[in-house]
Amino acid sequence: MKLTFIGATQSVTGSMTLVQDGETKLLVDAGLYQGLDAEEKLLTPLPFNPKDLSGVVITHAHLDHCGMLPRLFKLGFKGPVFCTEITSKLMRLILTDSAHLLEEKENPELQNFYDQKDVEKVFGSLHKLTLHHAHVFENLTLTLRDAGHILGATSLLLEGTKRVLFSGDLGRSDDLLLNAPEKALPDLDLIVMESTYGDRLRPKGMEAELASFLVKIKQESRTGLIASFAVARAQTLIYLMHQFYTRHPEYKVPVYVDGPMLQSANTIYTRYAHTTRDPQGLKRALTEFEMIEHYKVREHIQNKDGPQIILASSGMLSGGPVMSYLQNFMRDENVSLLLSGYQAEGTLGRALSDHQKNLKINNKPFEWRGEIEQAETFSSHADQEELINWLAENSHTPVALIHGEENAKLKLKEFLNDRECFIPKSNETRHV
C-alpha cells in the first residue's frame, strides 16, 4: 500500500491523502485550501489525474476536507464519494456556499474553478456509509468511526494489503454536545493523525467564557453581536446559550439568530439530534431563539437598544448578515462583538481582533467603536492531551502527523518518542 500526502502537510488546511493499493486509487478527503496564499495553492495542478481515481472518502463536512470535491468532478472524476449521511447533508450547504464564493472572485481562473453544476455532480455520486459497517470497495474495506468534532465527523479505517487508520479531525473528549472520539484501534500498520493542538492544551472553559459574555450583556444592557461559522459552531453556541439561560433565567435577554445557511444547518442538527449526547436539549435549544427571516426584522433589531444578543454568520466577517450588523453598529460603543472562531489572516475578523486601523467594508471606511472579544476557548479540536489519549490503546503503530502547524507537529512528535513518528512533506509518498 502506498500513501501520498498531498494537503494539510504544512498547515491545517486542504486535507487530502491519496492511497494506492493494487489497482485501487482512493482519495481520503478532498479539502480546499483556505487562508492567505490559498489562491495560489488552489491553482497549482494536482499531483494525480482525477479521471484515474477509483473513489473518494470524506471524513467530515468542513470545507478544508471536502471543498475540492466539485473540482475533481469538473476535472473528470466519475467515481463514488463515501461519507456519512449527516456529512452529505452538511456538505451540500458548505459546497453550495463555496461555489457562490468562487463566483465572486476577481481572478477568472478561480471564478471558473467550479460551479453549482459541479456541486450537483457530487451528490449524484454519493454513497452513504453507516458508522461501524464495513464497506467493501474494490480491494479495500472502508469502516467509519465516530470522531466527535462536528456532527457526522468520522475517522476512517482502511483495510487492504495493510490496515491504516485516518483520524480525520478529532473532537474534544469533554464536548457537551458531541460524543468523544472513538479511540484509535490497536495493531495497525499506520495511523495518519491530525495535530492541530499538538503543541498545547486548549484553555478550558468554553461554557464559562460564553457565560461571562452573556452576563455582561445583561448587566450592562449592551447589544452582543456574536460572529459565528454557520455550520457546527453556531449550533454549539445556540445549545450552550440555551443551557445557560435555563440555569440562569435572571440573565435572559432576547436572542436573534441570523443567516440562511445557519438556519439550514440548524434543521440538519435538529434532524440528527439523536446522534448527540443531549437530543432533547439540542432540539429545544434550536427552537428557542427567534430566527431572522426578513430584512425588516433585521432593521428593527438594528435600531433597538440592548440588552440583546444577535448570533450571525459568517464567522470571519467575510460575508453573510453579520456584515449588515457591523456596518449598522460600528459607531455604537454599547455593542460588544464576540468573534467565536478562528480568524484567518487576511480576513476582516483577523484585522479587528488585531486592532488594525483604516479598515473598509465594501470600499467604505469602517471603524468599530464598540468592544471586541476574541474567544479563547471555543474549539472543536482535541488538544495535545486528548490526542495522546486517543492513541493510548495503540502503543506501537507508526504515526504520520498531518493537519498541524510545524511547531504543533514537532512538539507532538516529542511526546510520541516511544514509537515511529514521521511528518510527511507535501506530495511525499510512503510505502506502508
Q: Which residues bind to Zn ion, rule: CB under 5 A? A: 62, 169
Cis (ω within 30 of 0) for the bond into 314? yes
In the bound complex, what is the minimum distance in angstroms from residue 289's beta carbon to Zn ion?
A: 25
Give the relative orientation of helices 322-329 and 295-302 as an angle to the nearest 10 degrees: 30
In the bound complex, what is the minimum distance in angstroms from residue 292's beta carbon to Zn ion?
A: 27
Nearer of residues 93 and 225 to Zn ion, judged by Cβ: 93
Residue 84 in contact with residue 131, Cβ under 8 Å? Answer: yes
Nearer of residues 325 and 342 to Zn ion, judged by Cβ: 342
Sign of the C-alpha dihedral computed for residues 282, 265, 32 and 25 taken in this order: positive
In the sheet with 335-339, reading across from the earlier edge strand, the strands are 290-291, 255-258, 308-312, 223-227, 335-339, 371-374
CA triple 15-77-9, angle to 5 deg: 15
Nearer of residues 62 and 172 to Zn ion, judged by Cβ: 62
What single string gives the DSSP state of each residue in 17-47? EEEEETTEEEEE--PPP-STTHHHHHTSPPS
Instruction: In whole angstroms, give the CA distance from residue 14 to residue 356.
Output: 28
In the bound complex, what is the minimum distance in angstroms from residue 66's beta carbon to Zn ion?
A: 10
CA triple 306-227-214, angle to 5 deg: 45
What's phi and psi for 34, nearest 5 deg? -130, 160
Nearer of residues 97 and 169 to Zn ion, judged by Cβ: 169
Nearer of residues 275 and 308 to Zn ion, judged by Cβ: 275
The residues facing 291 across adjacent strands are 257
In the bound complex, what is the minimum distance in angstroms from residue 63's beta carbon to Zn ion?
A: 9
In the bound complex, what is the minimum distance in angstroms from residue 169's beta carbon to Zn ion?
A: 4
Residue 378's identity, in one-letter code, is F
Give the relative orientation of helices 406-415 and 384-391 as an angle to the nearest 10 degrees: 50
In the bound complex, what is the minimum distance in angstroms from residue 154's beta carbon to Zn ion?
A: 11
In the bound complex, what is the minimum distance in angstroms from residue 197's beta carbon to Zn ion?
A: 13
Nearer of residues 153 and 241 to Zn ion, judged by Cβ: 153
In the bound complex, what is the minimum distance in angstroms from residue 61's beta carbon to Zn ion?
A: 8
Nearer of residues 62 and 218 to Zn ion, judged by Cβ: 62
Instruction: In whole angstroms, give the CA distance from residue 257 to residue 259.
Output: 7
Task: Label the pairing between strands 126-128 and 2-7.
Answer: unpaired
Nearer of residues 16 and 225 to Zn ion, judged by Cβ: 16
Sign of the C-alpha dihedral computed for residues 132, 380, 349 and 200 taken in this order: negative
